[in-house]
């Protein structure tokens, strides 16, 4: 390609406080990192505090070489307590933090108009401030761009109304098998099979792709016409932090690069498997 695709991740930027020490992360930033490693011109949009943790996280972001529009504001830098059980993370997400209050800037609006893809979730919309910024940016993204809702349901930070609004603003949905179960309950579709529910969501919200991941079992990507199913490879798991974000970043990068559904799916599976073999969400390869 003559021009690198412009890919944006907007939302939480935080420290995952792991038993082994803290790791910088946040789903949209993890997504941007992996898209960047795969050749995109990637931008993280978020906010961190005017504090020592903010200084440290900005230093980490500078080291990995991604572009960013990250505001420094008078709220503490986000932290998440992460407990690992057999490598599977459990999160306690602290409130009243900088990424809850991402201010909308002119630079963000200008960048949105040039985007080929933007990834966002429900978690970063838990506070009205960041919700306004995210929804405004989505409204400015070109019609042909990919708008990826990585639903990322955590704790109680979601509602049916927020999920529906976010689906209406997206054309790709990334969801895991547990989140799909929750959506069936919210939408009164408990008797639907996974495939039926995914196809219904594609039709109702005019989605181009629906990405369903089922952890160590398989992943499946639906389009309005077809689908691709790949078993999850067996690897020596360090932890699964950021694996889903890596999957999404690799898939979108591949699709924008003109690869087929199956090729893009395989690239996503391979990238997610690699991340599982390393501690934390970022791998320098």
SS (HEC) of 222-264: ECCCCEEEEECCCCCCCCCCCHHHHHHHHHHHHHHCCCCHHHH
pLDDT tens column, 37-62: 888 899 999 999 999 999 999 998 99
126-131 average pLDDT score? 97
Q: Is the pLDDT of residue 89 over 90?
A: no
Contacts of 270 (CB under 8 A, 6+ apart): 233, 250
Q: Is the pLDDT of residue 237 over 80?
A: no
pLDDT score recorded for residue 152: 81
Cα 186 to Cα 62, 123, 158, 164, 215, distances in angstroms? 40, 17, 11, 10, 22
Rounded CA separation 176/221 (Å): 11
Rounded CA separation 171/187 (Å): 19
Q: Is the pLDDT of residue 1 over 50?
A: no
pLDDT score recorded for residue 143: 95
> Where does the pLDDT of residue 259 fall: very low under 50, low under 70, confident under 90, or very high at 90 and above?
very high
Selection from 155, 153, 171, 172 nearest residue 163 by Cα: 153
Q: Is the pLDDT of residue 13 over 70?
A: yes
pLDDT score recorded for residue 279: 64
Rounded CA separation 262/230 (Å): 9
Give residue limits of the domains in the chain: 6-276
Q: Which residue has the higher pLDDT, 183 or 285?
A: 183
Percent of the chain beyond pLDDT 90?
Answer: 68
184-195 average pLDDT score? 95
78 and 14 Cβ atoms separated by less than 8 Å: yes
pLDDT score recorded for residue 282: 66
> Where does the pLDDT of residue 34 fall: very low under 50, low under 70, confident under 90, or very high at 90 and above?
confident
pLDDT tens column, 136-154: 999 999 999 999 999 888 8
The encoded tokens of residue 63 equal: 């080291």
Question: Of the given ranges (1-5, 66-70, 187-191), which has the lowest mean pLDDT?
Answer: 1-5
Phi, psi of 82 (to 5 degrees): -115, 120
pLDDT score recorded for residue 28: 84
Percent of the chain beyond pLDDT 70?
Answer: 95
pLDDT tens column, 150-174: 988 887 889 999 999 999 999 999 9
Question: Which CATH number applies to 6-276?
Answer: 3.40.1190.20
Question: Of the given ranges (180-194, 198-212, 223-237), which has the lowest mean pLDDT?
Answer: 223-237
pLDDT tens column, 102-126: 999 999 999 999 999 999 999 999 9
This prediction has a pTM of 0.91
Q: Is 160 helix (H, G, I), strand (E, B) or coil?
A: helix
Residues 196, 161, 11, 131, Cα dihedral to 10°? 160
The encoded tokens of residue 230 equal: 């790949």
Q: Is 122 helix (H, G, I), strand (E, B) or coil?
A: coil
> Where does the pLDDT of residue 86 fall: very low under 50, low under 70, confident under 90, or very high at 90 and above?
confident
């Amino acid at each position: 390609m003559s021009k690198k695709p412009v890919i944006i991740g907007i939302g939480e930027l935080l420290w995952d406080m792991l038993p082994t020490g803290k790791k910088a992360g946040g789903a949209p930033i993890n997504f941007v990192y992996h898209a960047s490693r795969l050749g995109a011109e990637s931008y993280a949009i978020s906010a961190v505090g005017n504090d020592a943790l903010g200084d440290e996280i900005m230093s980490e972001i500078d080291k990995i070489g991604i572009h960013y529009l990250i505001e420094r504001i008078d709220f503490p830098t986000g932290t998440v307590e992460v407990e690992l059980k057999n490598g599977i993370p459990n999160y306690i997400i602290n409130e009243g933090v900088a990424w809850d209050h991402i201010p909308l800037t002119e630079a963000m609006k200008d960048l949105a108009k040039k985007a080929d893809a933007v990834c966002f979730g429900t978690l970063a919309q838990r506070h009205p401030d960041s919700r306004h910024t995210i929804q405004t940016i989505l409204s400015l993204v070109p019609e042909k761009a990919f708008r990826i809702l990585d639903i990322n349901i955590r704790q109680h930070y979601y509602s049916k109304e927020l999920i529906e609004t976010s689906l209406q603003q997206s054309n790709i949905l990334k969801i895991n098998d547990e989140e799909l179960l929750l959506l069936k309950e919210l939408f009164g579709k408990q008797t639907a099979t996974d495939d039926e529910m995914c196809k219904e969501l594609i039709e109702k919200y005019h989605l181009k792709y629906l990405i369903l991941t089922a952890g160590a079992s398989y992943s499946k990507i639906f389009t309005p016409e077809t689908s691709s199913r790949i078993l999850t490879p067996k690897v020596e798991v360090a932890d699964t932090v950021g694996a889903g974000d890596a999957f999404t970043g690799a898939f979108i990068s591949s699709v924008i690069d003109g690869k087929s559904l199956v090729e893009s799916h395989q690239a996503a599976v391979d990238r997610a498997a690699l991340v599982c073999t390393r501690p934390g969400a970022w791998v320098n390869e």
